[in-house]
Chain A
Amino acid sequence: MTLLNVENLRVHYPTRTGLIEAVRGVSFTLGRERLGIVGESGSGKSQTGRAIMGLTPPSALITADRMDYAGIDLLRASDRQRRALRGGRIAMVLQDPKYSLDPVMTIGRQIAETLRTHSRVSASEARNRALDMLEAVQIRDPARVYDLYPHEVSGGMGQRAMIAMMLIAGPEMLIADEPTSALDVTVQLEVLSILDRLVRERGMGLIFISHDLRLVSSFCDRVLVMYAGRVVEEIAAGDLDRAQHPYTRGLIDCVPKIGEDRHPLPVLDRKPEWAK
């Protein structure tokens, strides 16, 4: 079943010096699967995620032949409809919990607030469900963490709290924009396995945005590789070794790996025709 349909999405920013074309004609569909979007900074991967979420600043021009989510036309949805979707049926996890959590509100209250915004539950039930959710993201002492402020927890714990907040309203689709890039490698894997388990158990669709091709391919079913606002290659994660596009190959090759002796490292030789 298709959750999300995107055809020919374009995100443009008019500026004094001309039009910046951040996303230039991206098309894909998402079912109940894990889709990775990979690219370097400036490739348009985050802009794609934000456009779907409705978080693009008002100055941007968004056009698409089609962009709908479970039958709702996102291009024509009212702000009110959008608000109901956001955090309710579509959720988003951002890169750094230091900036995406409210610094002056306890973690538990933030999570409970999300739930109460999207469904009619009593304060005590919201509290109980928030505690359950904290437990589901493997926080050992939920009652203690509930009353902590974001600055009192580590990055890994903050990101788990963020995931708990995003999943408490029971979304059908989750957009994760570099959810682990600010975390240590060892913590990264814990957070990913929590995310993986929850997405699988709940049968959600996931869009995983990252610059780390290897990480994405080990986590997702399918990967879109973006360059200069376009999708240059779509590939099943298992077939990454057989990637065709020179940009994808370049991205794989330029990363130093343990036990390899390649001096100097191959670098990307960017061809202007890739951007066409």
Chain B
Amino acid sequence: MSAILTAAHVSVRFDDYLALDDVSMAVAPGASFGLVGESGSGKSTLLRAVAGLAPVAAGQITVDGQPLRGARRSRDFYRRVQMVFQDPYGSLHPRQTVDRALLEPLAVHGFGDSDARIRRALDEVGLGASFRFRYPHQMSGGQRQRIAIARALILEPQILLLDEPTSALDASVQAEVLNLLEQVRRERGLTFVMVSHDLGVVTHMCDRLAVMQAGRIVEELAAADLARGAVTSDYTRRLMVASKGFVRAEAV
């Protein structure tokens, strides 16, 4: 099995701050890989480094065996790798209709048949044609996130980078969006790399996950092992305890 996406000894530095410190991972084609950790652990930075949005100081990232250099990414890269961001309010242009937002990637990459593609993309994310000429402020958070997913899928990528795709949404809407993501992954054989601070969400969505802390991967394990509690690092254990909710200290 050769990995579709690898990172080898990647470091990312912002001035004096080492955001990623010698991180390596490998994601198999068609797999769903999760990154968990608290804010500042570097999980989003790793995702952004893959997408060319963070300055890689050392190490190498490859997609489909081809090494990526620096922060430059070819047009072909963006056709194969697309990203969905956390905040559906911030990631859509407020003065562009859904139609414009979906047309843009098609135009950039020279796809023909854009009308049919936009209609199909809207159908696929469960929004009808009536949403096509709406502006972001005319939609709910869940609907906007569906548009962001449609925009990522419209180029028929192989890899989807998901940066906390549901943490700005209500629990009930989160379930809908997670179901949608699972469905498109199954139908298109996509590879997911998903960042989340919610262990429940990551174990639900991913087969394997890496736990990050302070710019390093402290543990990589299968989701099933995490569910069984077969974890080796204390930090992972702490995250698991935290995800179970508040436990009152015994009253004295």
Chain A: residues with CB nearer than 8 A to chain B? 40-41, 155, 184-189, 192-193, 196-197, 200, 211-215, 217-219, 250-251, 254-260, 262-268
Residue contact A213 to B171, C-beta cutoff 8 Å: yes
Whether, in the assembled complex, B130 has its beta carbon less than 8 Å from a beta carbon of chain A, the answer is: no
Segment of B7-15, B16-24, B175-183 in the binding face: B175-183
From 118 to 154 in chain B, residues with beta carbon under 8 angstroms from any chain A beta carbon are: 141
Q: Which residues of A contact B155 (CB under 8 A)?
A: none
| Residue of A189, A212, A213 with highest tally of chain B CB at under 10 A | A189
Task: Find B227's partner among A213, A258, A265 (CB 8 Å cutoff).
Answer: A258
Cβ-defined contact, B246 with A189, below 8 A? yes
- Chain B residues with CB under 8 Å of A189's CB are 241-242, 246
- Min Cβ gap A252→B in Å is 9
B176-192: which have CB < 8 Å to A? 176, 178-179, 182-183
Q: B226: which A residues are within 8 A, CB to CB?
A: 258
Contact pick for B246, options A40, A200, A218, CB 8 Å:
A218
Q: Pick the contact of A196 from B173, B240, B242, B248 — CB < 8 Å?
A: B248
> Known contacts A185-B242, A186-B242, A215-B245; is A258 also within 8 Å of B203 by CB?
yes
Q: Which residues of A contact B172 (CB under 8 A)?
A: 40, 250-251, 254, 267-268
- Select which of A186, A193, A268 is within 8 A of B249 by beta carbon: A193
Q: Are B178 and A265 interface neighbours, CB within 8 A?
A: yes
Compute how far the CA of A250 lies from the CA of B251 in the bound complex, rounded to whole angstroms: 33
B73 interface residue (CB < 8 Å to A): no
Does B64 sit within 8 A of A, measured CB to CB?
no
Q: Are A256 and B200 touching (Cβ within 8 A)?
A: yes
Name B196-252 residues within 8 Å CB distance of A. Answer: 197-201, 203-205, 226-228, 238-243, 245-249, 251
Interface membership of chain B positions 37-63, coded 1 if the CB is closer than 8 angstroms to chain A and 0 otherwise = 011000000000000000000000000
Number of A-B residue pairs with CB-CB distance less than 8 Å in the complex they form: 98
Min C-beta distance of A135 to chain B, whole Å: 18
Interface assignment of B170: CB less than 8 Å from any CB of chain A = yes
Given known pairs A193-B249, A218-B245, A258-B227, the reply for A185 and B176 (CB within 8 Å) is no
Q: Which residues of A contact B241 (CB under 8 A)?
A: 189
Interface pair A258/B243, CB less than 8 Å apart: yes
Cβ–Cβ contact B179 & A265, under 8 A: yes
Known contacts A215-B246, A218-B247, A256 near B182 by CB under 8 Å: no
- Return A158 CB to nearest CB of chain B, in Å: 13
B158 interface contact, C-beta 8 A: no
Nearest-neighbor residue (CB-CB) of A186 within chain B: B242
A-B contact pairs, 11 of them (CB 8 A): A40-B171, A185-B239, A185-B242, A186-B38, A193-B246, A193-B248, A212-B171, A215-B245, A251-B172, A257-B204, A259-B227
Complexed CA–CA distance, A264 and B172 (Å):
13
- Return chain A residues, CB-CB under 8 Å to B243: 185, 258
Q: Which residues of A contact B242 (CB under 8 A)?
A: 185-186, 188-189
> Least Cβ distance of B115 to chain A in Å?
30
User: Whole-angstrom distance from the CB of B11 to the nearest CB of chain A?
Assistant: 23
Contact status A264-B200, CB under 8 Å: no
Q: Is the CB of B240 within 8 A of A266?
A: no
Q: Which among B178, B183, B226 has the highest number of chain A CB atoms within 10 Å?
A: B178
User: Nearest-CB distance from B87 to chain A (Å)?
Assistant: 13
On B, residues with C-beta under 8 Å from A are 38-39, 141, 170-176, 178-179, 182-183, 197-201, 203-205, 226-228, 238-243, 245-249, 251
Instruction: Please give the distance in Å from B203's CB to the nearest CB on chain A.
Output: 5
A238, B133: Cα distance in complex, Å:
47
Min CB distance A238 to B, Å, is 12
B176 and A267 form a contact (CB under 8 A): yes
Give me the 5 closest cross-chain CB pairs, A-B, nearest first: A256-B204, A259-B227, A218-B245, A254-B175, A184-B38
A250 to B173, CA, bound (A): 11
Is the CB–CB distance between A184 and B246 below 8 Å? no
Report the separation of the CA atoms of residues A254 and B183 in the bound assembly, to the nearest whole angstrom. Answer: 16
CA distance A250 to B182 in the complex (A): 20
In the complex, A268→B175 CA distance in Å? 9
Q: Once the chains bind, are B174 and A254 in contact (CB under 8 Å)?
A: yes
The CB with the most chain A CB atoms within 10 A, among B171, B176, B179, B205, is that of B171
Are A264's CB and B179's CB within 8 A? yes
A157 to chain B, nearest CB (A): 13
The answer to whether B39 touches A214, judged by C-beta atoms less than 8 angstroms apart, is: no
Given contacts A193-B249, A219-B246, A258-B203, contact A184 B171 (CB under 8 A): no
What is the bound-complex CA distance between A267 and B178, given in angstroms?
10
Question: Do A256 and B178 have beta carbons less than 8 Å apart?
Answer: yes
**B171 x A255 contact (CB < 8 A):** yes
Q: Tell me the smallest distance from the CB of B147 to a CB of chain A, in Å.
A: 18
* Minimum distance in angstroms from B58 CB to a CB of chain A: 27
Q: Cβ of B173: which chain A residues have Cβ within 8 Å of it?
A: 40
Across-interface contacts of A268 in B (CB, < 8 A): 172, 175
Q: A137: shortest Cβ distance to chain B, in Å?
A: 16
